[in-house]
Amino acid sequence: MATPEFTAQVVGTGSYLHGDPIDNKQIEALLGPVPEDILEGIQVKERHWMIDPDTGEHLVTNSQMAAGAATAALERAGIEAGEVDLIVMSTASPEYLLPPAVTFVQEHLGIAECTTIEVRSGCAGFVEAADVARGYLERGTHRTALVIGSEAISPLLVPMYRGIDPERIRMRDRLVAYTFGDGAGALVLRAEPADPQTRAGVLGSSIVTMGGTKKPGMQVIGGSTHAPLHKQVLAKRLMELKVDVVESGKFIPHMITRSLREMLEISGVKAEDIALWVVPEGNAGYMTSELEAAGLLTDEWLALRDKIYENIERVGATGSAAVPLALDEAARAGRLRTGDNVLLLAIETSKWKYAGMTLVWAG
């Protein structure tokens, strides 16, 4: 394969989290308590919602959150919105089926014309979007790209508790509400001339769906074309978020092991040479115990577990926003230096897919 003429380098990151954080005591008042050991497993202590928890009214939109994260990333990069010629966005919770949410982000940023692409996915979607943008930049057809992951999950939670006595709410619904948060994260990628003598840009990437013959581990059902609309409106909830917690615990260790080994091989990097591993899905201690129980405690994992950066405790499970929120937080916390090898890895249970990318931090 010919060496690309350009490299796609990260020059800015940004986040948007709406309002003040909502802690577990506030969730308990809305939906009732969950056992302490379950809370410890969920790991989330606070999250942000784009709704008013008490009324369910929307206070901001998905695309507005995405634009907020994009604006922050552009400011950190010192780049004007007018310089952006490509926006790639991932979300599983757009305002509308059409137009794509990314076009509303373009509008919010005041960009009259640019290339826009939307990826419909959850946790893995942001890395997929980054890989799409990277391809355009490396080919030299575009110069400056915004890559955004944004989710508005809280509107799906409101029907679980609004107007219902917390004591009557099912435990599985409580678990979902304690787990998820809203938010958006973004990064700015810039095409720079490739120098064969310098390590820069993306070293490797991999996107694999392992669940082609498995039932979904997560589904958002309703409000689409899976069934006649006149039947959908008769359902207890117009839209429902379903999560298979049991199967996730069984299968995710296998996904982590395979994706980690594959990413290191594709990138030509040893585990010891990774400076930071962004894995927003859970803490290292919890995942170590899962891998040990599954007999999958590999040398690669042991070499990397102390280099994991995660923020699920502070923002909850945020789907497409998970990776960029954690990456931006790590950058602002001073955890990254120019020349560092950074591994992004997102595990998504919808159809058991993962997306990974290894890149050299440009600073």
Question: Tell me: the pLDDT tens digits for 35-72?
Answer: 999 898 888 999 999 999 999 999 999 999 999 999 99
Sign of CA pseudo-dihedral 73, 18, 329, 257: negative
Find the angle CA(325)-CA(326)-CA(329) to the nearest 5 degrees: 85
Domain identity same for 102 and 222:
no
Domain identity same for 219 and 308:
yes
User: What is the rounded distance in angstroms from the CA atom of residue 155 to the CA atom of residue 173?
Assistant: 14
Per the domain annotation, does 1 fall within a domain?
no
Domain identity same for 188 and 214:
no
Residue-range definition of the domain harbouring residue 297: 201-361
User: What is the rounded distance in angstroms from the CA atom of residue 34 to the CA atom of residue 41?
Assistant: 11
Domain identity same for 211 and 185:
no
Name which of 321, 182, 157, 167 is nearest 240 in CA terms. 157
So what's the pLDDT on residue 297? 74
Q: Out of 140, 175, 193, pick the residue that ends a domain.
A: 193
Per the domain annotation, does 303 fall within a domain?
yes
Residue that is written with structure tokens 């117009």 in the block: 238
Per the domain annotation, does 85 fall within a domain?
yes
Q: Give pLDDT < 70 ranges for the chain.
A: 1-2, 281-289, 292
Domain identity same for 83 and 128:
yes
Domain identity same for 247 and 162:
no
Domain identity same for 99 and 245:
no
Q: Which amino acid is at 335?
A: R
Per the domain annotation, does 174 fall within a domain?
yes
Q: Out of 150, 165, 193, pick the residue that ends a domain.
A: 193
188: helix, strand or coil: strand
How many separate helices (H) and strands (E) can be counted in the chain?
13, 14
Domain identity same for 177 and 208:
no
Beta bridge partners of 359: 202, 342
Cβ neighbours for 332, distance < 8 A, ≥ 6 positions apart:
13
**How many folded domains does the chain comprise?**
2
Domain identity same for 227 and 342:
yes
Domain identity same for 38 and 133:
yes
Domain identity same for 121 and 11:
yes
Name which of 268, 279, 250 is nearest 347 in CA terms. 279
Per the domain annotation, does 308 fall within a domain?
yes
121 within 8 A of 218, measured Cβ to Cβ: no
User: What is the rounded distance in angstroms from the CA atom of residue 129 to the CA atom of residue 160?
Assistant: 31
Per the domain annotation, does 54 fall within a domain?
yes
Q: Can you give the CATH number for the domain in which 62 is found? A: 3.40.47.10
Domain identity same for 216 and 171:
no
State phi, psi for 10 to the nearest 5 degrees.
Answer: -75, 120
Q: Out of 193, 223, 242, pick the residue that ends a domain.
A: 193
Per the domain annotation, does 313 fall within a domain?
yes
